[in-house]
Amino acid sequence: MLENLRQDVVDAYKNALAALENSYSPYSHFKVGAAVKFKGVEQVFYGCNVENASYGATICAERNAIWSGVAAVGKQDMEYLIVVADQKDPVPPCALCLQVISEFYDAEMPIYLGNLQGLQKVYKLKEILPVPFNSFVA
């Protein structure tokens, strides 16, 4: 378990868990919650995965959180992302979500991964996605 976390990160983790509880996942039964913090924006945005009978229209918790943040305050630089799942080993963002995150690429950005017990790991974005595709920076 990660210790000595900033209070706003701990609060965002708890709210991400609350979002996880709202997960609509009748097909996978795999509940995920996410939080995104933008630089210079106090409000933190949350998301859960919302599945669909078509499967393909399912939206991940991370993208749900990011798009809700963009809808509220516009596209901003990202400060950190939190992903929580009810799993022993916490789950990183899937490749589709990483592609969305790459639009906000900051190599040093922390991605916190947690489960119901707490935040367990933190990676820098560059560790999870070392070679992003982004036509603006390529």
Binding residues for ligand THU, per CB under 6 A? Answer: 25, 28, 30, 32, 49, 51, 58, 60-62, 83, 91, 93-94, 97
Tell me how far, at minimum, the Cβ of 58 lies from ligand THU, in Å.
Answer: 5
| Catalytic residue list contains 42 | no
Tell me how far, at minimum, the Cβ of 37 lies from ligand THU, in Å.
Answer: 17
Tell me how far, at minimum, the Cβ of 33 lies from ligand THU, in Å.
Answer: 8
58 or 76: whose CB is closer to ligand THU? 58
60 or 66: whose CB is closer to ligand THU? 60
Burial of 38 (0-12, 13-18, 19+ CB in 10 A): buried
The three-state secondary structure class of 120 is strand
Q: What is the dihedral of CA 16, 35, 111, 98, to 10 degrees?
A: 120
Check 42, 62, 79, 103 and give the catalytic one: 62
Q: How far is CA 130 from the centre of its chain?
A: 17
3 or 22: whose CB is closer to ligand THU? 22
The answer for residues whose C-beta is within 8 angstroms of residue 61's C-beta and 6 or more apart is: 19, 20, 23, 32, 33, 34, 47, 48, 49, 83
Residues classed as catalytic = 62
